[in-house]
Chains A and B, each alone.
With several copies, the nearest count.
Chain A
Amino acid sequence: MKTSGKALAEKVKQIKESDMLSIRSESLPTWCPGCGYFGIQQGLNNAIQQLGLSHHKIVNVTGIGCAGRYAFFNDAYGLHVVHGRLLPVATGVKMANPELTVFAVGGDGDGLAIGAGHLPHMVRRNVNVNYMLFDNSTFGLTKGQISPTSPIGTVSKASPSGNVDTPLNATLMALSYGATFVARLYAGDPKHNTAIIKEGIKHEGFSIFHFYSSCVTFDKVYKTWNNLKDNVHPLPPTYDHANLKHAIDHVLEDDFSMGIIYKND
């Protein structure tokens, strides 16, 4: 399982040379092999690369959790803050220097448990920050307790007889707060995600990307790759992402459609 020093150096070299991935830092991700976050990062890297953003003009403000470690895996300015507070910090960064492209990157526990109070206000301020919400329905870094998005019945060490608390739907929440760019994306589809991420970055105002991801280490039952793969699908062809009512009605019925759910420029 351990990658030898030499193989590692080789890998880094390859990555550096491939133009597509130049945003990745020399510290390789310490995520578990198979973690959904690799796929999310890939889509993000592509988008950044294709938009030709200068690395020194990118700031990644990240939360606490496996997701938050993202700050160390990018060749960009990174600020790994305390648990749940990435959005206020990102607000400060962007207001200080609007020329920076600011990403807020954190997990579902970070953003929807301890940090849930900041999302509505981030939406209200509509500061041009791109929020990458890595939702694996678990507290990965603290070893797999249920999170606010865990399905009813989820068994974990914090819910030995199964979760009984209604899960939250971050996409719906963002819509109800009045968000102007809401995308729902599947970690396993970086190609599809790239274009949407680019569109969100270009959106003038706050954008939220709700990524469905898989924690292969602590979740062998619920949001597994297989379960995700079997369920995700594109938005219907007739879908109109400029219509809020339409979007909300759709989201109330379909939990697994992926794409730009709502956009209002």
Chain B
Amino acid sequence: MLKNDITVEICGTSGDGTIAAGGLLNEAMSRAGFSVIAYDSYPSEIRGFGRCVTKSRFGLEQMLAFSDKVDVLISLNDSQSYSRTPFLAKNAVVLFDNKPLAKVKEGGSIAAHVGPDANLFGVPLINLALEAGAVRKGKNLAALGAFVALFGLDPDFFRPVITNKFKTKGAEVIETNIKIFDAGFNSTLNNYGEQAVEALFAPVKNKNKGKILVSGNAAIAKGALDAGLELYFGYPITPATPIMEIMAKELPLKGGKFQLMEDEIASIGAVIGGSYAGKRAMTATSGPGLALMAEMISLGVMTEIPAVIIDAQRAGPSTGIPTKTEQSDLHAAVFGGPGDSPRIVIAPTNVKECYEYIVKSLQLAEKYQTPVIMLTDCFLNNRVENVLLPEKSSDQMKDCNIYPDNSEKGNYKRYKITESGISPRAVPGMEGFVFSSTGLEHTNDGKPADTPQIHMEMNEKRHRKILNALNDLPEPEEFSTEKLLDLGLITWGSSVGAALEATLKAQKKGLKVGMLKVPAIYPYHSDHISNFMNRCQEILIPELNFTGQLANLIGHLHKKVVLRLNQTTGEPILVCDIINRVEDILAKINK
């Protein structure tokens, strides 16, 4: 086992306190100075019977992705967690309750399901919990204590986190939980001794100072709030709901307004209305909601009104698998809606970018007077990382609107044809700039028009404007060691991390592999992308959808057929799957 990079899973039902234990673990490990990336998976039904798994990876550098295998499995419920054993790394550590309350039928213990290489650590979790706290439910804390003991960590990173977690429940509850944690810790130390497994490398103290442990959703909400968002309209849908719920709480505290709407059409409608009236406004949804918004987004394109829409993708089509991840709304985001409707589509690739790109999206929407769709996915929305987010700044809050000049008063042309394609925009309330906007094709002063000339000119203006936005969009980022490459990977969104880790591993092996991360989906940096393609013998585009939606969009830029790695497992893509494919391709090239 690598002592400075471990992946831990906790598995049980939600009744077992699985998710809570994962949360405590991540928080404490972050305090201890580790870099954290973590992601929970749970069933889409409400009641507490289904399997919950929290997966966390701890290391010293910023974590790009999960490792393919699990180094430590903490079982809170063997009947659930035995299904996780196929994912165990060699010589993995398995921590389980060796004295469960009920008699377990033969083969029911996880011990019966692991390979001979596994390091089994039985700890009487429930017993310890009952002894120390008289609450069976505390077994998750006993398990955390055991984990800390095994890996030689300092329990003092954990105790304040536990205290904090239960602070609203009163001193007694806190004490009980600390007691159970300590019981797990001491019992394990006593039974297995100090060096039961290779200790974890102790990271530099205070390494994570200033960093916060946040999910993609929380980072999006924080970014929007820091950017001075004024209006949020939304309708719940997994996995975007938490953004709405944070807004419901936080936005009014900052002087903004939150309104739950009756559906997604109403949400985007109100965003358009609010932006039209000059305020910074946004909404968040998932694929089914985005589909419903398509007509209104096209209105935003035609009337040139800002709007920011987060599409937190989930497995589709249709209702699909609401709690699983997928990158399959790219087509709908770029192409949905009637007619030629150019809009901006961008995709952050990690939690930090969730923050940065929402700020960017709000500003781009204003400057370019356009709907901006920010594509995230379940994996990115829900995963937590400990990251250093930028301070809230006046730059983020900057009003990016381009207003008309006072000289235009009384003779204002809202849709004036300009070089940039941007026409200075007045907002209601401004005197002397009264104008009309319409989803009908229109003259430069916003009146309906149906002549060939005007329609061609206005179509051209709208497209030119969006193409110009390329200058302000995050550029592709390349990770190559050489100029000429055997294979170039191109990736986007939440798959970038795994692809990058795969690329770095391949490069370490001396393979001529490079990678290009594409954050601007539409418009895209075609020169930059085809430059990269030209330097690669083969191009591979790994993504979490069935048909290769990014490949469909940019594939024509390559002189050859681009290769695809498409997965729709509902799970994040694995580093090993990418590496295997990379090696396959290189084997063919070099033979």
- 1/0 per residue, CB under 8 A from A, across B298-327: the answer is 110001000000000000001100000000
Complex interface: chain A residues within 8 A of B261 (CB): 88, 91, 121
Partner of B434, one of A75, A99, A141: A75
Complex interface: chain A residues within 8 A of B231 (CB): 92, 95-96
Given A95-B274, A100-B429, A158-B236, residue A80 in contact with residue B279 (CB < 8 A): no
- Which segment, of B44-52, B162-170, B201-209, B340-348, faces chain A? B44-52
Among B217-257, those with CB < 8 Å from A are 230-231, 233, 235-238, 241, 244-245, 248-249, 252, 257
The answer, yes or no, to whether B372 is at the interface (CB within 8 Å) is no
Asked whether B262 lies within 8 Å of A91 as measured between CB atoms, the reply is: no
Q: Interface residues of B, CB < 8 Å — how many?
A: 67
Asked whether A118 lies within 8 Å of B266 as measured between CB atoms, the reply is: yes
Q: Interface residues of A, CB < 8 Å — how many?
A: 66
The answer, yes or no, to whether A145 is at the interface (CB within 8 Å) is yes
- Which segment, of A64-72, A184-192, A240-248, A252-260, faces chain B? A64-72
Complex interface: chain B residues within 8 A of A140 (CB): 46
Complex interface: chain A residues within 8 A of B49 (CB): 1-2, 30
Q: In angstroms, how far is the closest chain B Cβ from the Cβ of A263?
A: 25
Asked whether A158 lies within 8 Å of B244 as measured between CB atoms, the reply is: yes
- 1/0 per residue, CB under 8 A from B, across A159-190: the answer is 11100010000000000000000000000000
Measured in the bound complex, the distance between the Cα atoms of B327 and A72 in whole Å is 28
Asked whether A77 lies within 8 Å of B428 as measured between CB atoms, the reply is: yes
Given A77-B436, A88-B266, A143-B46, residue A61 in contact with residue B273 (CB < 8 A): yes
Complex interface: chain B residues within 8 A of A121 (CB): 261-262, 266
Given A92-B270, A93-B273, residue A159 in contact with residue B248 (CB < 8 A): yes
Complex interface: chain A residues within 8 A of B260 (CB): 145-146, 158-159, 165
Given A157-B248, A159-B260, residue A56 in contact with residue B429 (CB < 8 A): yes
Among A113-127, those with CB < 8 Å from B are 113-114, 116-118, 120-121, 125
Among residues of A, the one whose C-beta sits closest to the C-beta of B47 is A32
The answer, yes or no, to whether B296 is at the interface (CB within 8 Å) is yes
Q: In angstroms, how far is the closest chain B Cβ from the Cβ of A213?
A: 14
The answer, yes or no, to whether B454 is at the interface (CB within 8 Å) is no
Asked whether A89 lies within 8 Å of B252 as measured between CB atoms, the reply is: no
Measured in the bound complex, the distance between the Cα atoms of B10 and A218 in whole Å is 25
Among A122-148, those with CB < 8 Å from B are 125, 139-143, 145-146, 148
Asked whether B13 lies within 8 Å of A55 as measured between CB atoms, the reply is: no
Among residues of B, the one whose C-beta sits closest to the C-beta of A217 is B46
Asked whether B274 lies within 8 Å of A93 as measured between CB atoms, the reply is: yes
Complex interface: chain A residues within 8 A of B433 (CB): 56
Given A89-B269, A145-B236, residue A79 in contact with residue B319 (CB < 8 A): no
Q: In angstroms, how far is the closest chain B Cβ from the Cβ of A210?
A: 18
Measured in the bound complex, the distance between the Cα atoms of B431 and A30 in whole Å is 26
Q: In angstroms, how far is the closest chain A Cβ from the Cβ of B482?
A: 49
Measured in the bound complex, the distance between the Cα atoms of B244 and A64 in whole Å is 19
Asked whether B431 lies within 8 Å of A54 as measured between CB atoms, the reply is: yes
Measured in the bound complex, the distance between the Cα atoms of B238 and A113 in whole Å is 17
The answer, yes or no, to whether B390 is at the interface (CB within 8 Å) is no
Among B254-293, those with CB < 8 Å from A are 257, 259-267, 269-279, 281, 288
Asked whether B47 lies within 8 Å of A160 as measured between CB atoms, the reply is: no
- Among A57, A82, A118, A148: residue with most chain B CB under 10 A: A82
Complex interface: chain A residues within 8 A of B430 (CB): 56
Asked whether A83 lies within 8 Å of B273 as measured between CB atoms, the reply is: no
Complex interface: chain A residues within 8 A of B559 (CB): none
- 1/0 per residue, CB under 8 A from A, across B434-468: the answer is 11111110000011100000000000000000000
Asked whether A158 lies within 8 Å of B245 as measured between CB atoms, the reply is: yes
Asked whether B440 lies within 8 Å of A142 as measured between CB atoms, the reply is: no
Complex interface: chain A residues within 8 A of B86 (CB): none
Asked whether B269 lies within 8 Å of A85 as measured between CB atoms, the reply is: yes
- 1/0 per residue, CB under 8 A from B, across A85-115: the answer is 1011111111111011000000000000110
Measured in the bound complex, the distance between the Cα atoms of B427 and A100 in whole Å is 11
Given A77-B434, A96-B277, residue A56 in contact with residue B428 (CB < 8 A): yes
The answer, yes or no, to whether B85 is at the interface (CB within 8 Å) is no
Q: In angstroms, how far is the closest chain B Cβ from the Cβ of A165?
A: 8
Measured in the bound complex, the distance between the Cα atoms of B566 and A29 in whole Å is 35
Asked whether A157 lies within 8 Å of B277 as measured between CB atoms, the reply is: no
Measured in the bound complex, the distance between the Cα atoms of B276 and A90 in whole Å is 10
Complex interface: chain A residues within 8 A of B486 (CB): none
The answer, yes or no, to whether A234 is at the interface (CB within 8 Å) is no
Measured in the bound complex, the distance between the Cα atoms of B274 and A95 in whole Å is 7
- Among B236, B257, B447: residue with most chain A CB under 10 A: B236
Given A59-B428, A80-B438, residue A100 in contact with residue B262 (CB < 8 A): no
- Among A75, A83, A90, A92: residue with most chain B CB under 10 A: A92
Q: In angstroms, how far is the closest chain B Cβ from the Cβ of A200?
A: 20
Asked whether A77 lies within 8 Å of B435 as measured between CB atoms, the reply is: yes
Complex interface: chain B residues within 8 A of A58 (CB): 428
Asked whether B262 lies within 8 Å of A72 as measured between CB atoms, the reply is: no
Asked whether B271 lies within 8 Å of A92 as measured between CB atoms, the reply is: yes
Chain A residues packing against B (C-beta within 8 Å)? 1-2, 27, 30-33, 54-59, 61, 64, 66, 69, 71-72, 75-85, 87-97, 99-100, 113-114, 116-118, 120-121, 125, 139-143, 145-146, 148, 157-161, 165, 217
The 6 closest A-B pairs by CB, nearest first: A92-B273, A88-B269, A78-B436, A96-B277, A92-B270, A92-B274
Chain B residues packing against A (C-beta within 8 Å)? 13, 15, 45-49, 79, 230-231, 233, 235-238, 241, 244-245, 248-249, 252, 257, 259-267, 269-279, 281, 288, 295-296, 298-299, 303, 318-319, 428-440, 446-448
Contacts A32-B48, A97-B428, A161-B252 aside, 19 further interface pairs with beta carbons under 8 A come to A2-B49, A27-B447, A30-B47, A56-B429, A57-B429, A58-B428, A75-B434, A78-B438, A79-B438, A91-B270, A93-B273, A95-B259, A95-B274, A97-B429, A114-B262, A117-B263, A142-B236, A157-B249, A159-B248
28 contacts between A and B (CB under 8 A): A1-B13, A32-B46, A54-B431, A56-B429, A56-B431, A59-B277, A64-B319, A82-B288, A82-B319, A88-B261, A88-B266, A88-B267, A91-B261, A92-B269, A93-B273, A95-B270, A96-B279, A99-B429, A100-B277, A100-B429, A114-B264, A116-B262, A121-B262, A142-B238, A158-B236, A159-B248, A161-B252, A217-B46
